[in-house]
Structure 1
Amino acid sequence: YLLDSYDQLDGLMETELYKEWVDDLRAQGIVLLTANGLTGWRNWVTNKPIEKPEDLNGLKIRTMGNAIAINSVNAMGAIATPMNQSECYNAIQTKVIDGGEWQLPTIYSAKFYEVCSDISLSQHFLLTCDMVCGAAWFDTLSAEQQEQLITSCVQNYKDNQAIVIEYEEKYLEEMKAAGVTVTVPDREAFRAATEHLYADPATTGGADYEALRTELYEQLGINK
C-alpha cells in the first residue's frame, strides 16, 4: 500500500530519491535505465469473499518467499504460505492451501479461477520491474546513444503499462463470466493492518522505511 495508482509509479522517477538510487547503483557498476515496469496489483484469490482482514483469519494463503510479503500477508490476517507457483493449482484443489495473492493476468493465465470462487481486489502489493545494464558496457556508448537507450526503455515500459491495464480489465471480465465473484474490500482496513511493518526490523532489514516513505510522499506530493 505504498502507492495508490499507476500514475504515481511514473512520478517516482522524477523524484530526488530516484536520482539517489540511480547514483547508488551506478557506484556499484549498475545503470538503472528505468523503473516504471508494471506487472499489476496483487489481489486475494480464495473460495470465500474477502472484504476485511478478519475474513482471512485461519486461511493459508500462498505468497512470495520474502520477509516483506510474508510479514504483510500475516499482518493482514492470513497464514502466509510461500510455495512454488507451479504447485499452487493442485494445492488449492486439494486444500493444502486456501488460496493465494496474485496479479489478475497471473490468476487468469494460471487458471486459478478454476479452483477459486472469489477474487478480492485488495490491491495490497504493486508489482513493478526495473531495467538495468552494466555500467562498463553503458560507458562504451556515446552520450547520444545513452540518452536514446534510456528514453527507449522508459517508453517501452510505458507502452507495456497500457497493455497490462488493458488485459487486467479484459481478464477480470472473462473470469466474472466464468462464474468468479469479484469484490472490492475495505482497502483502508488492510492498509492499517500493515502500517506497523514500516518500523518492523524483521520486515525492513533494519532500514528506516518510515522516513523513506515520508520523504517519498513529500516528493510525490502525496498527502497522507
Structure 2
Amino acid sequence: MKNLRNVMITITSVLGLSVLVAFISNGQSVQSNDEIILRFGHGAAESNERHLAIMRFKELVEEESNGKIKVHVYPNEQLGSEAEMIESVTLNDLQMVAASAYSQYNQRMSVFELPYLFNSYEEAWEVLDGEVGEKVAEPLLEDNLRVMAYFENGFRHVTSNKPIESPEDLKGLNIRTPEFPLSLSTFEALGANPTPMAFGELYMALQQGTVDAQENPVANTYASKFQEVQDYLNFTGHQYMPLPAAISEEFWQSLSPELQEIVKTNAQKAAQYHRDLIVKNEEKMVKELQEDGMKVVRPPKEDFREKTKGVYESFKKEHGDELVDQILEQVENH
C-alpha cells in the first residue's frame, strides 16, 4: 500500500542498515545471513513513553536472542498512520505494530472503550491479560494479526475552558473526539456535540475556538501543551483505551518456538513497563500542568455513568451480551 515496500527500502538505506539484504513477504522472515529483522512501527514521538517501552522490547529481544533477532523501531508514524501500519502487518509487509485502530478488522476490540467500564488501571490490566483479552483478540488471526500484549493508552479526560462537574456542563459543548464509534456515542449520550478531527489540527482548533474542548489521556494533553489553550483538566475518566501490539502471524509462524517465546515474553514485559511508566509519570505531568495554570476538577462519576448506559445497550444489541457481562463480572470480583 502506497508503495510501502519501497518506502521501507529507502528508510533502511538512509539509516545505513546494511544488514538488510532481502525483503521477503509471503510468510517468510526478513533475513540477512543468520539475522532475522523485525520491524516495529508505532505512532508516538521518540519522547513518548510508548517509544521508550518499545525500545525496551528491542533491547530485551536482541539480548535474549543473542542477536539472532534485530528489532528496527519506526516511531512517529514514519511508516504511515496507525490504520496503514496495521494493514501493512496484515499484508506481512511490516512485522509488528502498536496501535489502536483494529476495529476495522474486529469491531469487538472496541469493547474495552465502553464508557466507565473500568475504575482503575489494575482492573483493566487484569481483564486484558486474562481470558477476555485473548478471546477478543482471537478473531484478528483471520487477518494475519496476532496480539502479543496490550500496551497502554490510559484513561481519557476532558479539557475545557469551564469546569465540568456534571453531565449538564457538557450539554451543547463542541468537543473534539477521535472518529471512533464509541467515543462519538458516549459524548452524544452526555449531551455534547462530538466533533472528529485529526489530532494534528486540534491545538489550532482549540486556540481559534473551532471546538470548545477535547478529551485525551493526561500524557497527550501534557505533550501537546493544551494547558496553553485550555483552562481546566477535568478527570472525567469516561473511557479507557488499551494499545494492542500485534505481530504478523505469517512472520510469527516462521520463527522457531524458542524465538517465539522470546518475542512474546518480552512484548508482555515491555507492555507492563509501558503501563508502569504511564502511571508513574501521570502524577508528575498533572502537577506541571497545574504549575502552568491549569485547574484540576475531579467530578463524581455516578451521573456520567448513568447517562451513558444506553451505549452499553447499543453495543450489546450489535455484539451480544456475553463479552460485556463477562468483563463486568470480572471487574466486580476484582
Q: When the two structures are superposed, what TM-score results if normalisation uses the length of structure 2?
A: 0.62
Distance 1:139 1:95, change over 3 A: same
User: How many residues were matched structurally?
Assistant: 219
SS at match of 2:219: helix
**How far is the alpha carbon of 1:122 from its aligned partner?**
0.7
Q: Kindly name which structure, 1 or 2, has the bigger radius of gyration based on alpha carbons.
A: 2
Q: Is the 8 A contact 1:68 1:204 kept in 2?
A: no
* 1:51-76 per-position Cα deviation (integer Å, ceiling 9, x unaligned): 11001112100001121111111112
- 1:172 counterpart residue number: 286
- Unaligned segments of structure 2, at least 5 residues: 1-115
Q: Is the 8 A contact 1:32 1:131 kept in 2?
A: yes
Q: Which one-letter code corresponds to 1:222 in the other structure? A: E
List aligned pairs for 1:85-100, cutoff 5 A.
Answer: 85-100=199-214
Which structure carries more relative contact order (alpha carbon 8 Å, separation 6+)? Answer: 1
Q: Is 1:31 the counterpart of 2:146 in the alignment? A: yes
- 2:322 counterpart residue number: 211
Structure 1: distance between partners of 2:293 and 2:331: 41
Distance 1:91 1:13, change over 3 A: closer
Structure 1: distance between partners of 2:308 and 2:182: 10
- Unaligned segments of structure 1, at least 5 residues: none
* 1:130-168 per-position Cα deviation (integer Å, ceiling 9, x unaligned): 111111111122222212211100010101111111221
**How far is the alpha carbon of 1:85 from its aligned partner?**
1.6
SS at match of 2:319: coil
Percent identity over the alignment is 28
Structure 2: distance between partners of 1:30 and 1:101: 29
- Tell me which of 116, 140, 149 is aligned to 2:230: 116
- Tell me which of 59, 63, 71 is aligned to 2:185: 71
**How far is the alpha carbon of 1:16 from its aligned partner?**
2.8
Distance 1:112 1:221, change over 3 A: closer
Structure 2: distance between partners of 1:135 and 1:29: 5
Q: Is the 8 A contact 2:159 2:213 kept in 1?
A: yes
Distance 1:105 1:144, change over 3 A: same
- Tell me which of 118, 143, 156 is aligned to 1:42: 156
Distance 1:195 1:162, change over 3 A: same
Q: When the two structures are superposed, what TM-score results if normalisation uses the length of structure 1?
A: 0.90
Q: Is 1:139 the counterpart of 2:139 in the alignment? A: no
Q: Is 1:222 the counterpart of 2:332 in the alignment? A: yes
Query: What root-mean-square deviation, in Å, do the aligned CA atoms of Structure 1 and Structure 2 show?
Result: 1.9
